[in-house]
Structure 1
Amino acid sequence: MTSDVILAIDAGTQSIRAAFVDATGTILAINQVPIQPYFAPQPGWAEQDPEYLWTALCDATTGLTTQHRDISARVVAVTLATQRLTMVNVDAAGKPLRPAIIWADNRRADTSKVLGPAAMGLAKMVGIGGLLEFSIGYARSNWIRQHQPEVWAATHKYLFLSGFFTHRLTGEFTDSTANILGTIPFESKTATCSKPRSINGVLFPIEPEKLPHVVPPGAQLGTITARAAERTGIAAGTPMIAAASDKACDVLGAGCLSPDQGSISFGTTATFNVPTSTYVELERFLPPFPAALQGQFHTEVSVLRGLWLVTWFKEEFGLAERLAAAETNQAPEALLDDLIRDIPAGSLGLTTLPTWMPGPHGDPYGKGAVFGFGDVHTRAHLYRSILEGIVFALYAGAQQTAKRTRTDIAVVRASGGGSQSDVLMQITADIFGIPAQRPHTSQTSVVGAAISTALGLDWFADASSAVAAMTRQSKQFEPIHANTSIYRELFDRVYQPSHQRLAPLYKQIALVTGYPERS
């Protein structure tokens, strides 16, 4: 095991990465290929060509293996973590039948064609009508069946992006149970397919034969085929081991094993997660997510437009930093950190509400908001307010999580690109009022997938041993109590009440302007 290496692939929304990871959790080498997240053939849609994504994966792995042939020769297994809820319809040969529908897509199926008015009326009476309407409408399979029946009829397998990549790599229509989630006839609690007349079977009527075979994290999915070896540079016959979704791997790669350890992912979608050994629903009928460890779960609260807001600010207001970054070979985000370093906690009252994407219990008219402007405010205050708003939303999720798990959060560990910002990490410690730790790498999804694989290869006796060997914290940020006091007041008296007070105005905006368009 000393010299053995795992090749871990992480297919996210903004890029696809391939990395060599050893038994200490050290990333020996990594190659990152940026990707266009999606294109929008209609407003609100988000699609991408699966072949484009497969080519990017091949570019990531071939770039890695050709640059580091000595390390490549030590690879004993391949593993994969991917973005969630990106769906691909394929024929019997694994050829895509239509563009993949990306997780950020906002199209909706017609609920009435799945669940009749009597059943929906009863659901509304017992308080779950909104949840069912969202879930049925969000299900990509329902939309395809209604609008592209010829595609659905020709579909041999209906795959998550993870299953599509696994088939391209191994020739097997197999996936990890830890990737099967969302609007699929699958029971998260037991990791088994739903019966046709179960709730999930009725809401998401997918023929069982169209779904892939599944195995638990740590089990073998197959081996790299000769054809895949030519495209990827990975040796034919290399075992491919099941891992989990990118967020589940983030939790494990951050070293979180108990519900008092919060995992924050500062990615395009920002999330707050805690691992649990038991099945815990944060909200009624919303199951937890499958973890990267067999039989385990993790809770999650999402800010769907999390660090996307940082990119938005950089593009719309950060021209000076982008130009300076190009001249000095720095990241624009590092210069934006310098811009706000002396802005006081609370941004002198400028407040950002970052949550406007619709969800199972979300406001269909919901929008983001920035309020509290005064003549003292500059773009620096706006940028800090955006960061504070993202963390406030995650903190609200942490409070809900602690209540449901009956466990106080003692520490948070942050990963993703945003975790490299000392300013954002300090804001996190101050708002949460507890230590915020930065793991030894921002690539926690890569490390988490490698840990899951290492356990499958019997490198370690148990998860605790694997996490102790392969994760560690590089820096800890202690809360500044004066800042925490300010943030507590703003959270309780301004941030939390704002959503309810603004909701009626959001609806009026939609009625006047027609945005967002409602079906």
Structure 2
Amino acid sequence: MSVSPRDPLLLAIDNGTQSVRALLFDLRGELVAKAQVALDDYRSPQPGWHEHDVDAYWQALCQACRQLWTQPGAERARLAGVAVTAQRGTVVNLDREGRPLRPAITWLDQRRTEEVPPIGALWRTAFRVAGVAGTMRHLVGEAEINWIRAHQPEVWEATDKFLLLSGYLNWRLGGRFIDSSGSQVAYIPFDYRRRRWAGPRAWQWQALAVKPSMLPELAPPGARLGSITAKAAFDTGIPEGLPLLAAAADKACEVIGAGCCAPHVACLSYGTTATINITSQRYIEAVRFVPPYPSALPDAYSIEQQVYRGYWMVNWFKEQFGHHEQSRALLEDVAPERLFDELASSVPPGSMGLMLQPYWTPGIRLPGREAKGAIVGFGDVHTRAHVYRAILEGLAYALREGKERIERRGGVRITELRVSGGGSQSDAAMQLTADIFGLPTARPHVYETSGLGAAIDAAVGLGLYPDFASAVAGMTRVGKVFEPISGNRAVYERLYKDVYLRMYRRLRPMYRDIARITGYPRGA
């Protein structure tokens, strides 16, 4: 498709964990203009808690939009529509006047409660027979709404609407309590198979202290949610009456923004949470009783495996051990990432036997709640550089294990990789990923893949493309491709099969002993 300077533009608002970005895309998927505002209103009132001021999310969105209109190429007259994508699992309680009742509980929060609603005997028996009774108890205890009812009953009683962050932002923009079915990833009564609220007899309504009236209306990705209100137009500078379209959660949007719409092409997200996803028309549980998430395509599923703290570990390393590179970057006026790439590249593949298991935060089923991170193989030859490369390699090993689990359960064969997220900007990370997976590994043509996925949803919803297949084909393409290096691949193959795949099973008893002795992780 040829694009003229007067063709429509699409506004994607991407509310991630670290920032809100206002992004303008044209119909070829080129990023025309961008504005970014950091999110710094996080707080941790107690260890393991993670909250954010609700109105501060909206104010950051407004500031990002107002900054966008000052950028070259940001022509409001060419805007055709707007769509929101946001971090998953962050929840907001509103009263009858639409006022926040407490700070948002974010997806990083680790609080849980033992005071949960009772589940009927029939469902308890079914879970016990299926061997998932413990998992279900854990999930119910993790649900934010159950914690609020148990520990802040006055907030629960006053809650008129219980929304995900995407639903809150869509309401502030369009004035309606309506959200995309593609954004519903949280401890809520959602039917993942049918991509709608659970039926009236579903166990979720017993196990979660949420009422149907608290939840928004749902619409599929690409559907029109409404129009920008006069108040939102005044706050953001987005033209009043502009169509507001449904997108999906940030990971789901990343997948289609990276062009991964066929099961043989997997999307790796090297973000705060590291994930591997494929898009499937079939409902596939890569782990039994853990559902696939809704895709940014209205009739598809995103089959996902994740490493919960993922590339957060890279930032952890930089904060704890990367002061030298960050100081050098300031003195030499270069990007710190370039120096960290040099650090990783100074170490041979396999990090001279230093192996890392990236379970910095415990999981629910795989790995289990007892899991901890581990680094084994230390010797006097190892330096910070070896630790840094071992982190990158450990994340890639874990995601390869997820790939193989998806292939076994789904009966698919993954033959290509796309990598998005902050880690995709590292050539060292890209090359070792290609080597560990043994597959060609490509960057998408733009870094802002979650925003691009939201723009694709908007383009189809507005009729600017006739269907999702043509929109993805017209708006996505690959950038640099990294091919596996045979010598590196041989080293990684042996380390992965002979060492990495055995680590968790052999360390698991010790993880349990650590939890028993220290009490951390709680509930292991």
**Selected match of 1:249 from 250, 253, 259:** 253
**Selected match of 2:412 from 407, 431, 446:** 407
Aligned to 1:476: 481
The answer to whether 1:130 aligns with 2:134 is yes
In 2: Cα distance, 1:326 partner to 1:93 partner:
48
In 2: Cα distance, 1:18 partner to 1:457 partner:
19
Letter of the 1:320 counterpart: H
In 1: Cα distance, 2:115 partner to 2:415 partner:
42
Aligned to 1:44: 48
Contact 2:41/2:56 (8 A) holds in 1: no
Contact 1:111/1:133 (8 A) holds in 2: no
Aligned to 1:421: 426
Aligned to 2:222: 218
Letter of the 1:429 counterpart: A
| 1:74 CA drift (Å) | 1.0
Structure 1 residue ranges without an equivalent (≥5): none
| 1:120 CA drift (Å) | 4.5
In 1: Cα distance, 2:474 partner to 2:131 partner:
46
**Selected match of 2:510 from 505, 509, 517:** 505
Alignment of structure 1 residues 115-514 onto 2, 5 Å: 115=119, 120=124, 123-361=127-365, 362-514=367-519
Q: Deviations over 1:37-96 (max 9, x none)?
A: 732111111111111111111111111023347522211111111000000000122211
Tell me: CA distance 1:430–1:310, structure 2 relative to 1, closer, same or farther (3 Å): same
Contact 2:29/2:452 (8 A) holds in 1: yes
| 1:320 CA drift (Å) | 0.8
In 2: Cα distance, 1:330 partner to 1:55 partner:
31
Aligned to 1:84: 88
Q: Which moved more, 1:317-326 or 1:509-518?
A: 509-518
In 2: Cα distance, 1:369 partner to 1:69 partner:
48
In 2: Cα distance, 1:378 partner to 1:310 partner:
16
Letter of the 2:134 counterpart: G
Letter of the 2:224 counterpart: Q
| 1:126 CA drift (Å) | 2.9
Tell me: CA distance 1:47–1:291, structure 2 relative to 1, closer, same or farther (3 Å): same
Q: CA RMSD in A?
A: 1.7
Q: Deviations over 1:399-444 (max 9, x none)?
A: 0011122111110000111101110000110000010011101110
In 2: Cα distance, 1:74 partner to 1:498 partner:
55
Contact 1:176/1:217 (8 A) holds in 2: yes
Tell me: CA distance 1:91–1:244, structure 2 relative to 1, closer, same or farther (3 Å): same
| 1:364 CA drift (Å) | 2.2
In 1: Cα distance, 2:123 partner to 2:83 partner:
43
In 1: Cα distance, 2:368 partner to 2:360 partner:
8
Q: Deviations over 1:433-489 (max 9, x none)?
A: 010011101110011110111010111122221111100111100001111111111
Tell me: CA distance 1:5–1:39, structure 2 relative to 1, closer, same or farther (3 Å): same
Aligned to 1:102: 106
Alignment of structure 1 residues 12-91 onto 2, 5 Å: 12-36=16-40, 38-68=42-72, 71-91=75-95
In 1: Cα distance, 2:371 partner to 2:121 partner:
26
Tell me: CA distance 1:118–1:111, structure 2 relative to 1, closer, same or farther (3 Å): farther
In 1: Cα distance, 2:349 partner to 2:439 partner:
16
Contact 2:92/2:164 (8 A) holds in 1: yes
Aligned residues: 519
Q: Deviations over 1:286-318 (max 9, x none)?
A: 111111111111101111111111101111111
Letter of the 1:101 counterpart: I
Contact 1:13/1:37 (8 A) holds in 2: no
TM-score, normalised with respect to structure 2: 0.96
Letter of the 2:440 counterpart: P
In 1: Cα distance, 2:23 partner to 2:171 partner:
20
Q: Which moved more, 1:136-145 or 1:256-265?
A: 136-145
In 1: Cα distance, 2:259 partner to 2:314 partner:
26
Q: Deviations over 1:349-407 (max 9, x none)?
A: 10111124233314222211111000111110110000000111110000001112211
Contact 1:111/1:136 (8 A) holds in 2: no
Contact 1:9/1:80 (8 A) holds in 2: yes
Q: Deviations over 1:176-202 (max 9, x none)?
A: 011123321121211222133212222
TM-score, normalised with respect to structure 1: 0.97
Contact 1:94/1:167 (8 A) holds in 2: no
Contact 2:356/2:390 (8 A) holds in 1: yes
Letter of the 1:84 counterpart: R
Instruction: Give the secondary structure class of the aligned counterpart of 1:67.
Output: coil
In 1: Cα distance, 2:341 partner to 2:125 partner:
51
| 1:507 CA drift (Å) | 2.2
Contact 2:89/2:186 (8 A) holds in 1: yes
Percent identity over paired residues: 47
Structure 2 residue ranges without an equivalent (≥5): none
Contact 1:196/1:202 (8 A) holds in 2: no
In 2: Cα distance, 1:463 partner to 1:376 partner:
52
Contact 1:188/1:287 (8 A) holds in 2: yes
Contact 1:14/1:37 (8 A) holds in 2: no
Q: Which moved more, 1:383-392 or 1:458-467?
A: 458-467
